[in-house]
Chains A and B, each alone.
Chain A
Amino acid sequence: MSTRGFSLAALPVARVPGVAIVLVVLCAGFGVTSPGFATPANIANILTQSTILLLLALPMTVIIMTEGLDLSIGAVLTFASIVLAVTVIATGSPTLAFLAALGVGLCFGLGNGVLIAVFDIPPFITTLGTLGIAQGLSLLVTDGQSVVGIPRSIEQIYSGTAAGIPFPIIIAALAYFITHALLYHTRFGTYVFALGGNREALRVAGISVRGMLIRVYVFGGLMAGFAALLMTARLNSAHPTAGIGMEFDAIAAVAVGGTSFERGNGWLLGTLLGVIAVGVLRNGLNLLAVPSSVQVACIGALVIVALFIDGMRAER
């Protein structure tokens, strides 16, 4: 394929990833149009609100790098959040409740992984199915109502600070560094690249492809359990529709961040920037009083623009 005439590749910006360009343009745009945007309080707000999405987008990056997908991650978060709320109200133990939420994530991750790796059901179908199951269970347990009456100790996980830094940001930063270490400094991470890039190479090297795939989806489920803790703390309740559509935002953030859906080409830092770009977009549109339905459309457009810029770069 060849293009004549204008190409971004000819400009010096060619080496800057699409997601960085998008982020700068968004910040500049909102900085000019809404006076409330570029304030320290608002920026802290954007970052804090992005933490839950980051907890989902990190494992989503790993999953997509294996040429897989996890559509169930938002619904699993929701169900884990409900189980957490119900458990803490019933037992009064936040620790037990948190473990229960992680247990939900573990079960769904394991289920996804086994169905995909052992029974060879395509990830799209598998996780679409478990999305439905998790969503249905959430509605069943709550009868469609919010679960309220959660102790303050949980709520403080979202609103509390340490040395002036909000707890959620500390948790998200930890999650980022752990995922980074996993992906770039462990055997597991090395094999994630191989799962997407050349499974045959992994087989020839005597590594169990199935075992690695199951671990990848278990990681996704566990991270959804962690995200459920933040979500419950943030809402100070659990709601059966709280996580609906979060898989969309997570996949969008990964795509905006430049992770390719083929050949194990992933970039974790890109995902972080992608999550922030989605957060900036939502926040800026909120400040401009744009309805949330239009916001979803804007996130869709964001994905296309970022990939378009990346595509122009790769053209040469």
Chain B
Amino acid sequence: MTVVPLFELRGISKEFPGVKALDDVSFEIRAGEVHMLVGENGAGKSTLMKILCGAYRADRGSFFNNGEPVTIHDSTAARKFGIAVIFQDFTLVPYLDIAQNIFLGREFSSRLPGFIDRRRIHAEAKRVLDMIGFDIDPRMPVHGLGVAQQQMVEIAKALSQDARILVMDEPTAALSDRETELLFAMIARLKKNGVAIIYISHRLSEVFALGDRITVLRDGRNIASLLPAETTPDQLVTLMVGRPVDTTYTRPSRPTPGAVVLDVKNLSGPSGFSDINLTVRAGEIVGLSGLVGSGRTEVARAIFGADRVTAGEIRLFGKRIGGSTEISALRGMALIPENRKTQGLALARSVGDNIVLAGLRKLFPSGVFVPRRAMKAARAIIEKLRIATPTPRRPVATLSGGNQQKVVVGKWLNADARFYIFDEPTRGIDVGAKAEIFRLLDGLVHNGAAILMISSEQIEIVHICDRAYVMRSGRIVGELAHHELTEANIVRLGIHQ
């Protein structure tokens, strides 16, 4: 073992308020290898990569470049060591051409001061594009390119800055099969040129097809470093899951499910899901699981009437609905979106204002706003959901994440919603407050409401739900009854084999 790694991280720890994101993680990358980084959502992969590229600073730990101890305190330092990240949201300028994007900020000068040598920029860009085998005219503006092509431009941009270590975060997530093949061919070419690649993936087939080595993270710890030849997909899944159960919340007994509240049949839509069948009964929490990008949010939005549907039908309490969020809300459906700050709350307004927002018609049938009545309704909800605020007049922005989430729920409770769709209800909420959110969901179903809950954290689904559907690539690939509901089963169904 005399190989000196190209770059090495040793004993990295990083803590965020309430969460230990990374705990003594070591990681090394060698020239010309594809190093797979796997783990569940929240295992710490992104945090580790952000530390590597200088976006975050580690609390503890050291870095070694070619065996020499170094420090990375910002992205400039990381770039100096040849580390480049291909971000999911690209840093491209839509109305500049490919070549100008590749050399943005490093334009070749012409003889006139301030002027750029466009011809040379295009020629150099062509050279870099040829190097990765991307056959395209560098004069094409970027806004007309597809996701795969934009990704290629990002990679070319990184390579033109002499990157030796490329970090790719689920690069095939938005690619077709054909585009994926091209990407893999390019990766093979880069390897030959001695470029090291850190590849984050949820697709087991990729992990085994591409990887030279595999590192598994779980709960912020480095669980295993493996060679693909010496492991099996099943072993890998076992290593990825198997977290100790969160002990702050115990699932109470649930009422026997009542009548069917939501009945979706053969639903397909242009936003990327097809042939969706699912039911939710009164008094039931049903999970909708699957990887990010598997189409869960799109299905939820379509059910609520926010996105277009091309086939199938949605029945709420036996009546057909669809296509209109107003009608869905009037009939008692509530969507609690993933991003409560931009989609669920009027952040600048008070807690009380937010609570009455969706029930204005019920509270004030004549159309005249009566502050006293609004206050009373808001106080009732605050008490019922135990929202921690001294007064309804307090701006909602000053509340904690968990309490903001309660305000969003309270808004719909006040509007007499009977069917709730929660999209990642615990996103951005610290661990302690999560149990509080779960109790809130419990309370809703105990009063006869029905809930469809989307979550990327399998443990949550297992924990709270009575049943769960698992999605993959826009389709429901399985339904797990309560006794089958385990993390391993969800991961097995949700991952591309």
Contact = CB atoms under 8 A, between A and B. Distances in A.
B75 A198 contact: no
Interface residues of B, number: 20
A263 B94 contact: yes
B424 to A, nearest CB: 24
Interface string B109-123: 010001110100000
Contacts of B80: none
A190 B95 contact: no
Nearest to B117: A185
Interface string A239-272: 0000000000000000000000001111000000
B468 to A, nearest CB: 34
A186 interface: yes
B65 to A, nearest CB: 21
Interface string B93-106: 11110001100111
Interface stretch (A96-104, A146-154, A201-209, A229-237): A201-209
A198 B93 contact: yes
A264 B118 contact: no
B96 A266 contact: no
A187 B106 CA distance: 9
A264 B95 contact: yes
Interface residues of A, number: 22
Contacts of A264: 93-95
Contact of A198 (B92, B110, B118): B92
Contacts, number: 61
Interface in A196-239: 196-198, 200-202, 204-207
Nearest to B96: A193
A193 B101 CA distance: 10
B436 interface: no
B94 A185 contact: no
Contact of B107 (A187, A200, A201): A187
Contacts of A186: 114-116
Interface string A162-197: 000000000000000000010001111010011011
B107 A190 contact: yes
Contacts of A196: 95
B95 A265 contact: yes
Contacts of A266: 95
Contacts of A190: 96, 100, 104, 107, 116
B343 interface: no
A197 B235 CA distance: 45
Contacts of A185: 110, 115-116, 118
B76 interface: yes
Nearest to A189: B116
Given A197-B95, A200-B91, A266-B95, A205 B104 contact: yes
Contacts of A201: 91-93, 101, 104
A193 B106 contact: no
Contacts of B116: 185-187, 190
Contacts of A194: 93, 96, 104
A198 B157 CA distance: 15
Contact of A187 (B76, B95, B114): B114
Nearest to A265: B95
Given A186-B114, A190-B116, A265 B105 contact: no
A315 B323 CA distance: 21
A198 B87 CA distance: 14
B75 A204 contact: yes
A201 B94 CA distance: 11
A139 B116 CA distance: 44
A197 B105 contact: no
A104 B91 CA distance: 38
Nearest to B76: A206
Contacts of A198: 91-94
A193 B76 CA distance: 23
Contacts of B110: 185
A206 B114 CA distance: 17
B258 to A, nearest CB: 39
A93 B75 CA distance: 54
A5 B308 CA distance: 20
Contacts of A263: 94-95, 143
B114 A204 contact: no
Contacts of A188: 114
Interface of B: 75-76, 91-96, 100-101, 104-107, 110, 114-116, 118, 143
19 contacts: A185-B110, A185-B118, A187-B114, A190-B107, A193-B96, A197-B92, A197-B94, A200-B91, A201-B91, A202-B104, A204-B75, A205-B106, A206-B76, A207-B105, A263-B94, A264-B93, A265-B94, A265-B143, A266-B95
Given A188-B114, A205-B106, 14 more contacts: A181-B115, A185-B110, A185-B116, A186-B115, A190-B96, A190-B104, A190-B107, A194-B104, A197-B94, A201-B91, A201-B101, A201-B104, A264-B95, A265-B94
10 pairs of A and B residues whose beta carbons are closest in the complex: A205-B105, A197-B93, A201-B91, A194-B93, A205-B104, A198-B93, A197-B94, A186-B114, A193-B96, A265-B95
